[in-house]
Structure 1
Amino acid sequence: MTMASPFGVFVCLLIVLPQIQAASIPYNGTVPLQGCQIPCMTEVNLHLFLHQFVDGPNQPNRNEETLLQTSFPFGFGTTIVHDWTLTETTNSKDTVVARAQGVHVQAGLTKDNRWYMTHNIEFEQGSLHMKQVCRV
């Protein structure tokens, strides 16, 4: 007599467990099943302007800082952390709606300005206008 392999037991469970689960759900024949309802969705249309003030000398209002400056060609590996502001207009002095907070890294070894960026967008409280859209 041979024993089942762990993979064989796993496959058997994948096939049998959904059937056992479906059979165990109680069904009340007196209550009609309701049709699938689509919940209200939130529609967000963003038209924001990002304001970047680069790191460097004589930049008092900069919103990024160089963490690592390398000597590789094209600045490969240079790492900068940023906290860029986002407004609803092109005016950087307008009310800040959100902030793009993250890091960008010079990722081009053979060409300049090949940046990899990652950031979260952190919205200021109460400044995002959303509209509920319900579809039936």
Structure 2
Amino acid sequence: MRLRSLMLENSQGERIIQDKNEILRKEIGDLIQVFDDKMEETQAKLELTESEYANEQEMLKELEKTFLALEVKYNQIQEKRRLAEEKRREEMKELELKTKAAIIAQSWWRGYRTRMALKNKGKGKKGKKGKGRKTR
């Protein structure tokens, strides 16, 4: 009898443990299901992000090609501007040099004319002697 009562207690304890195990299995199954759902959602987001990244990489390559072409043109334009600026500066220096030379030549000529005018002013005009005989 004692054995029977122990077996009965044991079977009741076993049933309680089995019930608890069943409840835990259901909770674990629910948690696994939630985890799987979250992983699928995360995987979908990852795949979408990867495809967007690939598209952006392609766009970047295209833009880099365009950028390189534009950069070459930009450098050419900058070089032309630099050369034009250099030429303009050279022309300005040449113009300044010509202007200085013209000023010097003009001042020399004015001084020469003034000296000649003063030199001639000091001499008086002499009367002209007539040619031929004077008749009275």
Whether TM-score is above 0.5 comes out as no
- With normalisation by structure 1, the TM-score equals 0.19
Q: Which has the larger radius of gyration?
A: 2
Give the structure, 1 or 2, with the largest relative contact order (CA under 8 Å, sep 6 or more): 1
Structure with bigger strand share is: 1
Structure with bigger helix share is: 2
